[in-house]
Structure 1
Amino acid sequence: MCTGGCAKCLGITLIPLAVLCTLVNILLFFPGGQVVDNNQHITDEVWYFGGILGSGVLMIFPALVFLGLKNNDCCGCCGNASCGKRFAMFSSIIFAAVGVLGAGYCFAVSAVALHKGPKCYTGTEWTYPFQDGNYLTNHTSWSVCKSPENVVTWNLTLFSLLLIMSGVQVLLCAIQVVNGLIGTICGDCKCCGCCGGDGTV
């Protein structure tokens, strides 16, 4: 597959992932699927906007760049038929690095949130009853959270989704870094980078 075509496939995959991460992060503002009367009762990591900023907004930029690489005009840069395409592939590496940072941020926030557990009302106060991460295997301990209802399952499911999707985004952006390096060195297949201006080798 051409490096430009590969980048386009990666971009097509990243866009729905970015949208899903944004939606999941928004759902986390409604613990247990309920509207809370005090924003301080929402788990702190939700306010870090890992899914909205990291895997959402920041991921849109590299995704759009990857999508545009396939249709990039590779000919006609400073009289050199290949430099336009090569520069475009090189720039994609920079945007891929931005994507890795954004998705990595979301991954880290989600991992911390899963280990820390949700903020809930224990019957006496709003606190974090699961500070050591043992609640992940001890389901009977979930009953300590009296409100919001099902908040443990809610946070565990949604933060796990963010963890998985951001991990996939990191992998896809890392693939584009390698793909971009190949495109920078060799150019796109059957284009001005590896062939002559008329498409001949």
Structure 2
Amino acid sequence: MCMGQCARFVGLSLITLSLVCIVANALLLVPNGETTWTKADKLSLQVWLMAGFFGGGLMVLCPGIAAVRAGGKGCCGAGCCGNRCRMLRSVFCSALGMIGAIYCVSVSGTGLRDGPICSTNRSWVSPFKETKGSYLLNRTMWGLCEEPPNVVTWHVTLFSLLLAASCLELVLCGVQVVNAAMGVLCGDCRKKGAPE
């Protein structure tokens, strides 16, 4: 596969994954799809850190766009520098994307380990924080949360989605760093006059 084609594939994948992260983070702000519980004391710190919006979202969206552009014709076409300028920009953007993905992985993992804040015996607490993640394997414990309804399922599903998406983003950004670095050193493998 040509370096330009690889960059386009990776870029489109990163754009899709970043949008998934943004939507998942937005849904975490409205437990059970309702705004009734969207208050600072009723959502966990990991939700408010917006790792899916900033880390896995915007910080990965930029390298995705840069990778798609790197897969197109360069500033000089197929002539003097080919795509090397855009490939070099993609190296730096992808490195930034890796930082964002790492941020999203760490916050999502912590969010899964600590669990949601919910109403238990009429007080809003984080009942699973001391379990160090063992509540994930014991679904009977999930009944401790009275409000919001189905909050544990909501929390676990969305943070798991964020964790999986950001792990993929981390791998794809790493692939694009290597691919773009090779593109800078070797130039684009497409022949002169090849379509974008």
The TM-score with structure 2 as length reference comes to: 0.90
Distance in 2, Cα, partners of 1:37 & 1:59: 29
List aligned pairs for 1:77-92, cutoff 5 A: 81-83=79-81, 85-92=83-90
Tell me the CA shift for residue 198 of structure 1.
9.0
List aligned pairs for 1:49-64, cutoff 5 A: 49-64=50-65
Distance in 2, Cα, partners of 1:144 & 1:70: 51
CA pair 31-187 structure 1, distance change in 2 beyond 3 A = same
Determine helix, strand or coil for the equivalent of 2:83.
Answer: helix
Other-structure match for 2:19: 19
Instruction: Pick the structure with greater CA Rg.
Output: 1
Tell me the CA shift for residue 127 of structure 1.
0.8
Amino acid at match of 1:106: C
Contact 1:74–1:82 (CA<8 Å) still a contact in 2? no
Tell me the CA shift for residue 133 of structure 1.
1.2
Tell me the CA shift for residue 83 of structure 1.
3.4
Tell me the CA shift for residue 84 of structure 1.
5.1
Other-structure match for 1:95: 93
Contact 2:11–2:65 (CA<8 Å) still a contact in 1? yes
Distance in 2, Cα, partners of 1:30 & 1:138: 24
Distance in 1, Cα, partners of 2:173 & 2:37: 39
Amino acid at match of 1:42: L
Other-structure match for 1:159: 159
Distance in 1, Cα, partners of 2:26 & 2:157: 14
Residue 143 of structure 2 is aligned to residue 143 of structure 1: yes
Amino acid at match of 2:90: S
CA RMSD of aligned residues (A): 2.0
| Aligned pairs, number | 191
Runs of 5+ consecutive residues of structure 2 not aligned to the other structure:
none
Distance in 1, Cα, partners of 2:3 & 2:178: 10
Contact 2:77–2:83 (CA<8 Å) still a contact in 1? no
Distance in 2, Cα, partners of 1:76 & 1:20: 33
Deviations 1:94-131 (A, max 9, x none): 00001111111111110000000110111141111111
Tell me the CA shift for residue 26 of structure 1.
0.6
Contact 2:29–2:38 (CA<8 Å) still a contact in 1? no
Deviations 1:40-63 (A, max 9, x none): 201221111111111111112111
Tell me the CA shift for residue 141 of structure 1.
1.0
Runs of 5+ consecutive residues of structure 1 not aligned to the other structure:
192-196
Amino acid at match of 1:23: V
Tell me the CA shift for residue 72 of structure 1.
2.9
| Identity %, equivalent residues | 40
Other-structure match for 1:104: 102
Amino acid at match of 1:5: Q
Amino acid at match of 2:5: G
Deviations 1:161-201 (A, max 9, x none): 0000011111110000110121122111135xxxxx799xx
Distance in 1, Cα, partners of 2:46 & 2:156: 12
Distance in 1, Cα, partners of 2:189 & 2:26: 41
Contact 1:120–1:147 (CA<8 Å) still a contact in 2? yes
